[in-house]
Structure 1
Amino acid sequence: MPRKLSNALTPLAVKNAKPGRHADGGGLHLLVKESGARSWVYRFMLKGKSRDIGLGAAGQGGIALADARTARDALRLKVKAGIDPLEERERKASEAVAAAHAAHIAEMTFKGVAEAFIATHEASWRNDKHRQQWRNTLANYVYPVIGELPVAEVATAHVLKILEPIWQDKPETASRIRGRIETVLDAAKARGYREGENPARWRGHIAQILPPRSRLTRGHHKAMPYDAIPAFMAQVRERQAMAALALEFVVLTATRTSEVLGATWAEVDLEKAIWTVPASRMKAGREHRIPLSPRAIEILEAVKPLGKVNLFPGDRGGKLSPMAMSMLLRRMKQGVTVHGFRSGFRDWAAECTGYAHEVCEMALAHVIGNKAEAAYRRGDLFDKRRRLMADWATFCAGAGGANVLVSSLRTAA
């Protein structure tokens, strides 16, 4: 029978041991690599299988021989009790990782996740206004309630606490806030910060608690009846101001405020009477060509001598403020929004003309909902849209004529 080793090694032997495996007895071994690196290993038998578990580095700066033997003896007792030291170590390591992750999650607030989401995605958002709306709505409505709450703890009650006070009075804002909360919570779940269903989900959840927006008085983008637009346009033309010219141009082109105020002369071909808005400035993310009526051209020729980059400059340089046209409407005691004139145009086109549906929709730069139709119709129906916009300009001039020359300009109405 082979002689059992017991304390076969000495500190000097540990220091001078050559590459290989050196037994000390009781399952303790010194491993020496060709590089000279030394480590302690305990070999044990459990359930008929031999296994090794590392104890740490040996030699100078590592575990001393006496300490290695003490560690071996402690492990031998566990093995005798049927405990696998390797499995125990792995379990404790897993528990430590889980505890660290739980601590990290506990520190991860809703605001922290939201700010990280915005920072990651804002470069893909089309305009500064959208970025600012994300930050403003969260800061004003959401953060005061759940900003510092661990994102894992956000529940339906928190979401309702945010939405219920504004759901009736500010339905558009409330709806967007709900969607943004849902998006942030989805991002948190994807990163492992929370589990379970999203408490801000609309379908099958919030929809069962709050009434749908279609049943609310929305008051968003209030529109002027199209038959009142000609008289209104006559009043606008009486105001020799930059805001008035910009507003008239918005109505004549059936475009959005941001598209007009951000327009530059590089986008306009006066000779061909075409204004081309690049994809980067369009809501649908696609280039949009707009035919310009004679009155629209007249407005542009009136402001071109100002020599500015933007079609409608502000009094301090740059582009005209988005509030300029809104304030003009307020001073004229009109309870409508600038954007609402697009609805007026669409109603007029549907009720007073014979133009096809797709021509009217493309005039508004709307995305075609029918994928099959969109696939087969590649053009932009420009010639038909030119006739449509000319007819619209004629209609708008019906209560006062469009041949009013601009004699002087002010940036305020």
Structure 2
Amino acid sequence: MALHTLSLTDVMERDKPPGRYSDGGGLFLHVRSATARSWVVILHDKGKRHEISIGPAVGPGKAGMSLVEARNAAERKRRLRTAGQLGAPPVVVAIEGRTFEQAMTEWFKNVYQKEVIAKTASDAKSSIERHAAKLLKMDVRAITKTNVVAVLEPIWHDINRTANDLRFRIETIFNYARAKDYIAADAPNPADWNVLQHLLPDVTPAVKHHDSVPYAELPGVMRTLRTKNRVAARALDLATLCAVRPTECRAARVCEIDFAKKTWTIPVARLKVKEIIDKNGKTLKAPDHVVPLSRQAITLLKKIIPTDAEPDDLIFEGEKAGQMIGHNAMTHTLQRIADGTAHGMRSSFSTWRAEQTKYEWRLSEAALAHVFKTESEAAYDRSPYVEQRRPLMQDWADYLDSAS
């Protein structure tokens, strides 16, 4: 870019060509386009040239630092040079605004941490700090869609789910910043998917199914599993008997079991699908998932639930009191016996039903807490059909006991 020596009293000029405009003393207005402009100060210290970005510059219809603010900031940099501290790591603080890091920290404290458990919040923050480090010290008013694409593109193919989560969180933080007036109310959100979907490469994720143990091998696998004296083994046993997801099982509590009715009621909050569409197109809260318990499941539960257990006690408590077993504990237990995953046991159940029984496929799908797609099927899904599923689950439990 060309270097121009001009007075900066015309900072607000709209049609200023790209280039650097000097104010003297090493302070420059750096114009990249009509809407992208920033302040930089160039200083020499001990034979080294330091080019320091001060912050976004005010412009036509654009918030940023005024000429006076930029001159004051440049003077502070000159004082650091005099004090021998110019080479220290810069601390960028937004003027009349916030850095992205500051807005992020506020959002986590005031919003996100109140909605999720501590570990989820910690993992989300670590992801932002790791993958979006380039944004942290930038003024939220200066961040553009180009900046956001620059942090998403390197991970868009390899860890697309993480990248999508990251984009959503960045978008949410900018919405928070807008609500707090850290950016203009009409400023575009640089992480808006309606825009970024045209700038990021297409990704067609490969469908990866959970590895399942062939149902023909399951009776032998279950016989071996039941010799293992581990909490995770008992959880995997129950999850397999009931064809439920590992997450639904590991968080099971005593109050969910009704021995009189021989049922296990899994709250909708723990299910994968929490809403359904009725035949009129209205969105409704999905029902709890009621599992009819086989004789084997009841025997197992009576064996592992202490007689003095409290209703809110976890059935499968981990090493720490009050905490459930680990996320992968059931799969790791299975993999010491056979190739497969705990979630894959549901596929084994589904295949067994299709190939070895005459039970209607809808009963299998209802047992798996799946949601049907058409209006009539959605209406069916709202009915738990507990008693119709009871013979199916009993036959499945008997089959798992059939190892010779």
Q: 1:311 to 1:147 in 2, by over 3 A?
A: same
Asked if 1:206 corresponds to 2:197, the answer is yes
Q: Secondary structure at the match of 1:289?
A: strand
Task: Give 1:3's aligned residue.
Answer: none
Q: 1:221 to 1:378 in 2, by over 3 A?
A: closer
Unaligned 5+ residue runs, structure 2?
A: 1-59, 70-92, 275-286
Q: CA RMSD in A?
A: 4.0
TM-aligned CA deviation for residue 289 of structure 1: 1.4
Q: 1:243 aligns with which of 232, 239, 243?
A: 232
Q: Counterparts in 2 of 1:243-282, with a 5 A limit?
A: 243-282=232-271
Q: Give the number of equivalent residue pairs.
A: 301
Contact 2:149 2:196 (8 Å CA) reproduced: no
Cα separation, 1, equivalents of 2:225 and 2:292: 22
1:202-230 CA deviation, whole Å, 9 max, x = no partner?
A: 5663366323243x4x6575444555544
TM-aligned CA deviation for residue 231 of structure 1: 4.0
Asked if 1:296 corresponds to 2:297, the answer is yes
Q: 1:133 to 1:343 in 2, by over 3 A?
A: farther
Q: 1:263 to 1:164 in 2, by over 3 A?
A: same
Cα separation, 1, equivalents of 2:95 and 2:366: 48
Contact 1:261 1:319 (8 Å CA) reproduced: no
Q: 2:98 aligns with which of 105, 108, 112?
A: 108
Cα separation, 2, equivalents of 1:346 and 1:201: 40
TM-aligned CA deviation for residue 182 of structure 1: 3.3
1:366-399 CA deviation, whole Å, 9 max, x = no partner?
A: 445445653576421111222332233234344x
Asked if 1:362 corresponds to 2:366, the answer is yes
Q: Give me the identity figure in percent.
A: 31
Please, what TM-score do these two structures have when normalized by structure 1? 0.58
Cα separation, 2, equivalents of 1:99 and 1:379: 58
Contact 1:141 1:162 (8 Å CA) reproduced: yes
Asked if 1:386 corresponds to 2:376, the answer is no
Q: Counterparts in 2 of 1:180-195, with a 5 A limit?
A: 180-189=169-178, 193=183
1:153-196 CA deviation, whole Å, 9 max, x = no partner?
A: 33444434433444444333333333333333344455552655
TM-aligned CA deviation for residue 274 of structure 1: 0.7
Please, what TM-score do these two structures have when normalized by structure 2? 0.60
Contact 2:145 2:191 (8 Å CA) reproduced: yes
1:72-130 CA deviation, whole Å, 9 max, x = no partner?
A: xxxxxxxxxxxxxxxxxxxxxxx9xx779999786323333334444454478476665
Q: 2:322 aligns with which of 309, 315, 318?
A: 318
Q: Secondary structure at the match of 2:265?
A: strand
Task: Give 2:400's aligned residue.
Answer: 396
Q: 1:242 to 1:117 in 2, by over 3 A?
A: same
Q: Secondary structure at the match of 1:295?
A: helix
Contact 1:145 1:162 (8 Å CA) reproduced: yes
Cα separation, 1, equivalents of 2:113 and 2:210: 28
Contact 1:105 1:152 (8 Å CA) reproduced: no
Cα separation, 2, equivalents of 1:170 and 1:299: 40
Q: 1:171 aligns with which of 145, 160, 166?
A: 160
Q: Counterparts in 2 of 1:61-210, with a 5 A limit?
A: 107-122=97-112, 125=115, 130-142=120-132, 144-189=133-178, 193=183, 197-202=188-193, 205-206=196-197, 209-210=200-201
Q: Give the residue type in structure 2 aligned to 1:141.
A: H
Cα separation, 2, equivalents of 1:187 and 1:262: 33
TM-aligned CA deviation for residue 291 of structure 1: 1.3
